[in-house]
Amino acid sequence: MEGYAAKQRRTTILIHVILIVMSFIMIVPFAWMILTALKTNQEAISVSPFYILPHNGWHWENFGTVWKSYNFLILYKNTLLMIFWRVVCAVLTATMAGYAFGRLKFPGKNFLFSLVLVQMMIPAQIFIIPQYLMVSKMGMLNTQFGLVFPGLVTAFGTYLLKTGFEGLPKDLEEAAMIDGCNIGQRFLMIMMPLTKSSMVSLGIFTAVFAFKDLMWPMIVCTNASTTTLSAGLAKMQGQYGSDYPAMMAAATLAVLPMIVIYVIFQKQFVEGIATSGGKL
């Protein structure tokens, strides 16, 4: 019995050591980013990277410099609005399409769903030019809609929600039909609330990918007043290419909204990843 307890303790210790090492690996780049943002440029490039703390005082003014150079409030606003609309549109369209593919019977259903799957197999870059032309011809360049456009529908979301709806028992829907619910009521009142976890997963995926999206904002938003944090940060990388503290200060300011969102929705993030089995 004692042998078993000792073995279990050893296993627990080993698991904790692995977790601590993994946490350390995850945290170090963030710590390095924040601490470099507080150094002088000379310190950032000349001192060994193993001396992680600033030697010549904490230079908070680096944040002020980049804040003044770029209107971060506008970048935050554009990014958060883009994330909000992409999440709303993706969840809305994917839920409806997922319900149709997962629960309804209609001619050409399998063919149409195979078209959705094909879209998942093609690299996203293929769609960039037609999407750009559509946005351009609609006169939507440098607008919030232009930013949201590629996220209006999602093949991955449709697939995720279809799987979610398929997993629900048929009896629920049949009971609702007997009670006189029409198709809209069955979808809205009965089925949709039961796929909440899939919807949350999709929302999280969409939010993270929208936040990380760099190429599309760079193409459709050439004005500083309409661009997003990722594209703004890319511009800073060009402008402050050799000024590492300024770049790191900008990067720290840029990740703040995502950290805040994560802190608020931490439970849903973890549940969402567990539900979809994906990694962000």
Partner 1 sequence: MKRVDIRNTMNDIKSNTRGMSRKERLGYIFAYYWLHVFGAVLAVFFIIYFLTHFLFGIKENWIYVTFTNVLTSDEGVNALRDDFIEYTGYDLKEKNVVFNANSYFDATTVQGTNNSYFQAFVAMIEAGDLDAVIGTKDNIAAVGASGRLKDLSSEEMRELFASYSDRFVYCTPIDEEYSEDEVPVGIDISDSSIVGKYGIYTGDCVLGLGAYTKHAEEVLKFLKYIYEDI
Q: Which residues bind partner 1 (CB under 8 A)?
A: 69, 125, 128-129, 132-133, 136-141, 143, 145, 180, 182-184, 188, 214-215, 218-219, 222, 224, 231, 234-235, 237-239, 241
Nearer residue to partner 1 within complex by CB, 213 or 275: 213
| CA pair distance 153, 200, nearest whole angstrom | 16
Return the structure tokens found at 260. 């805040």
Nearer residue to partner 1 within complex by CB, 237 or 266: 237
Minimum CB distance to partner 1, residue 237 (Å): 7
Using H for helix, E for strand and C for coil, what is the string for the chain?
CHHHHHHHHHHHHHHHHHHHHHHHHHHHHHHHHHHHHCCCHHHHHHCCCCCCCCCCCCCCHHHHHHHHHCCHHHHHHHHHHHHHHHHHHHHHHHHHHHHHHHHCCCCCHHHHHHHHHHHHHCCCHHHHHHHHHHHHHCCCCCCHHHHHHHHCCCHHHHHHHHHHHHCCCHHHHHHHHHCCCCHHHHHHHHHHHHCHHHHHHHHHHHHHHHHHCCHHHHHHCCCCCCCCHHHHHHHHHHHCCCCHHHHHHHHHHHHHHHHHHHHHCHHHHHHHHHHHCCCC
Minimum CB distance to partner 1, residue 70 (Å): 10
Nearer residue to partner 1 within complex by CB, 52 or 215: 215
Minimum CB distance to partner 1, residue 81 (Å): 13
Minimum CB distance to partner 1, residue 124 (Å): 10
Minimum CB distance to partner 1, residue 133 (Å): 6
Minimum CB distance to partner 1, residue 213 (Å): 9
Nearer residue to partner 1 within complex by CB, 34 or 92: 92
Asked if 94 contacts 158 with a C-beta cutoff of 8 angstroms, the reply is yes
Nearer residue to partner 1 within complex by CB, 117 or 138: 138
Return the structure tokens found at 182. 């029409």
Minimum CB distance to partner 1, residue 231 (Å): 7
Nearer residue to partner 1 within complex by CB, 127 or 262: 127
Nearer residue to partner 1 within complex by CB, 129 or 274: 129
